[in-house]
């Protein structure tokens, strides 16, 4: 069994490509630092594959969905992520590079399970936004399956809602239906579809907090009255 060893310096691309394969670990690189985590398991893998196939079946021929492909998020310091699925142009697939440049990625999809939530919702959220990837979808399997949809807007991700059931969404400019039912065991009494867009007059600022985007009221809130000094 091969176990990752952690160097005492930041890794560059030459060292990254020479790393061995790790069967029991999911390995990525964050600003030159090797990040290893246990592989997420069969439920995660089934959901990621099912979603990738759904997207690939519905997108036009000039777009492709890839799973388990390295994405060069940042060159300096080096950040390489391996998302659960990405949408790219067919031309990139035909070129067959060793890894996809972030500038060529139209959409990233990550499937969140126990142990990956903070990385998907905070760290990768920031990285993908700063890299200019137009869309980011997070499918949460820690409860009944839901999908949170984000679109790049002025350099940061805008929250476009959270959905369950089988919502129709826009992926790389094309309407697709994403069927979340059956991805994980869920409460039969739960509503079929819940679209949770931010209310009118609100905007979403910053990365999602604890897995949910935070709606910030654009109106000015009244100031709280002054109270006695608590001592």
Give a yes or no: residue 162 inside a domain.
yes
| Domain CATH for 180 | 3.90.1570.10
Inside any domain, residue 4: no
Task: Report whether 28 contacts 124 (CB < 8 A).
Answer: no
Average pLDDT across the chain, whole number:
83
- Domain of residue 190, residue span: 41-217
The answer, yes or no, to whether residue 198 has pLDDT greater than 70, is: no
Q: What is the mean pLDDT of residues 87-95?
A: 97
Q: Over 70: is that where the pLDDT of 189 sits?
A: no
pLDDT (0 to 100) of residue 2: 61
For residue 22, name the pLDDT band (cuts at 50, 70, 90): confident
CA angle 139, 141, 144 (to 5 degrees): 105
Beta strands 135-140 and 100-101, pairing class? unpaired
In a domain, 29, yes or no: no
- For 146, the token pair is 């839901």
pLDDT of 53 over the 50 cut: yes
Q: Rounded CA gap, 108 and 121, in Å?
A: 13
Q: What is the mean pLDDT of residues 7-27?
A: 82
Residues of the chain with pLDDT > 90: what percent?
58
Q: 11-20, 108-117, 140-149, 215-224: which has the minimum mean pLDDT?
A: 215-224
Residue 7 lies in a domain: no
What does the radius of gyration of the chain's CA atoms come to, in whole angstroms? 19
227 within a domain of the structure (yes/no): no
- Where do the H-state alpha helices sit in the chain? 13-17, 42-58, 90-95, 117-118, 124-130
Is residue 119 included in any domain, yes or no?
A: yes
Task: Give the model confidence (pLDDT) of 104-139 as tens digits.
Answer: 999 999 999 888 899 999 999 999 999 999 999 999
Decide if 19 is inside a domain: no
Find out whether 27 and 34 touch, Cβ atoms under 8 Å: yes
pLDDT at 91: 97
Residue 109: inside a domain: yes
User: Which range among 12-21, 36-45, 116-125, 202-211 has the greatest average pLDDT?
Assistant: 116-125
Q: What is the pLDDT of residues 132-176, one digit of tens each?
A: 999 999 999 988 999 999 999 999 999 999 999 999 999 999 999
Q: In the chain, how many domains are there?
A: 1
């Amino acid at each position: 069994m091969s176990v990752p060893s952690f160097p005492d310096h930041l890794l560059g691309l030459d060292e990254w490509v020479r790393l061995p394969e790790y069967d029991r670990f999911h390995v990525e690189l964050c600003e030159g630092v090797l990040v290893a985590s246990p592989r997420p398991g069969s439920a995660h893998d089934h959901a990621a594959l099912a979603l990738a196939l759904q997207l690939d079946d519905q997108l036009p021929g000039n777009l492709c969905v890839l799973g388990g492909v390295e994405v060069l998020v940042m060159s300096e310091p080096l950040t390489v992520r391996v998302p659960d699925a990405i949408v790219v142009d067919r031309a990139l697939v035909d070129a067959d590079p060793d890894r996809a440049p972030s500038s060529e990625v139209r959409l990233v999809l990550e499937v969140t399970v126990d142990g990956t939530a903070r990385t998907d919702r905070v760290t990768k959220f920031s990285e993908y936004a700063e890299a200019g990837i137009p869309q980011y979808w997070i499918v949460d399997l820690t409860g009944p399956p839901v999908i949170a949809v984000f679109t790049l807007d002025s350099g940061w991700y805008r929250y476009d809602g959270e959905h369950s059931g089988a919502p129709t969404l826009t992926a790389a400019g094309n309407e697709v239906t994403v069927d979340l039912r059956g991805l994980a065991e869920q409460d039969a009494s739960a509503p079929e579809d819940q679209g949770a867009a931010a209310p009118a007059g609100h905007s979403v600022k910053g990365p999602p907090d604890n897995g949910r985007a935070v709606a910030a009221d654009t109106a000015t809130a009244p100031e709280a009255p002054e109270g006695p000094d608590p001592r």
